[in-house]
Amino acid sequence: MKIGDDCEEIDLDVTLEKYQLTKTFLFKVLTQFAEECGVKLSNILTDGARDRLVIGSGGVARDFLSIFRRSIEISKERISSGDLARGGKVGAEDVNKAAGENDNYKQSEFNRDTDADEAGGLRDFFAEITDFCVEQNHTNCFLVLKDARDERMKMIAELVDLKLLHHCDARVTVRSRVGKIYEAYMLDIAQYTGERARRNLEMIEFWAPNGARQLRKSSIIFVE
């Protein structure tokens, strides 16, 4: 079949930049599956787990459903072992673990979708971003100058395509950088949850009412 002639392509992947729209879309898809199974999502998911599913998936419908499925398995294993400290529903920590496991698939895609010549440099650059966010600034987001003429921007775009970084805000201002506009990106959640859980990490909730204020920190500027 030829796309455009025999069929049309429907892109189900949305972005975190329009967070509420993305969340609504993903849960409409999931609710349809749940209703067919006679399940009410509010009976099995906490509110925190809902947002964590969206963030963990980066807006990718396939990853959203895969992480949800694995989250249920992890929650069942936890409850059956007698660990009820986090309640009897799928919680944010269950989603964190599922998202961490999903990184194995992303790494496989990385190996498949990158040339051997560029893979090493791209991995090193991703490690640099991870260190900047997690080790230096203890946060999940970073800023780059909008329309920056920097060779690193091309690699950032490649990492977004590989779902290792997620674009979350196209217009951020920083008080100490008058007249400059930045874009915000989020490090994939698998890099700091699950097996890689980090203490003292401040998760910037850019989708929350005070999220924009949390992004306006000069300390998280990565490219300027």
124 and 67 co-located in one domain? no
In a domain, 151, yes or no: yes
Q: Say if residue 134's pLDDT is above 70.
A: yes
pLDDT value at residue 182:
96
Q: Rounded mean pLDDT of the chain?
A: 88
Among residues 222, 62, 47, which one has the least CA distance to residue 146?
A: 222
pLDDT value at residue 7:
78
pLDDT value at residue 110:
79
43 and 72 co-located in one domain? yes
Q: Which residues contact 223 (CB under 8 A, 6 or more apart)?
A: 143, 144, 145, 148, 150, 152, 153, 156
pLDDT value at residue 12:
57
Q: What is the CATH number of the domain that holds 39?
A: 1.10.8
- Last residue in a domain, options 101, 134, 149: 101
pLDDT value at residue 197:
63
47 and 123 co-located in one domain? no
pLDDT value at residue 156:
95
83 and 137 co-located in one domain? no
Phi, psi dihedrals of residue 111, rounded to the nearest 5°: -65, -35
DSSP conformation class of 37:
T
80 and 138 co-located in one domain? no
- The pTM for the full model equals 0.84
pLDDT value at residue 86:
79
In a domain, 93, yes or no: yes
Q: Say if residue 140's pLDDT is above 90.
A: yes
Output the six-digit token pair for 147.
């329309």
Q: What would the pLDDT profile of 19-64 be if each residue is shown by its tens digit?
A: 999 999 999 999 999 999 999 999 999 999 999 999 999 988 989 9
202 and 165 co-located in one domain? yes
In the predicted model, what is the mean pLDDT of residues 197-203?
Answer: 76
Provide the H-helix boundaries in the chain. Answer: 19-36, 47-57, 61-80, 92-113, 116-130, 152-161, 211-215
95 and 161 co-located in one domain? no
- Last residue in a domain, options 76, 101, 126: 101
In a domain, 186, yes or no: yes
Q: What would the pLDDT profile of 141-197 be if each residue is shown by its tens digit?
A: 999 999 888 889 999 999 999 889 999 999 999 989 989 999 999 999 988 876 556
In a domain, 155, yes or no: yes
pLDDT value at residue 114:
78
In a domain, 9, yes or no: no
Output the six-digit token pair for 81.
């072992």
The Cα–Cα gap between 163 and 181 comes to 24
In a domain, 5, yes or no: no
Count the domains in the chain.
Answer: 2
144 and 204 co-located in one domain? yes
Domain hosting 70: range is: 19-101
Output the six-digit token pair for 216.
């306006």
DSSP conformation class of 133:
I
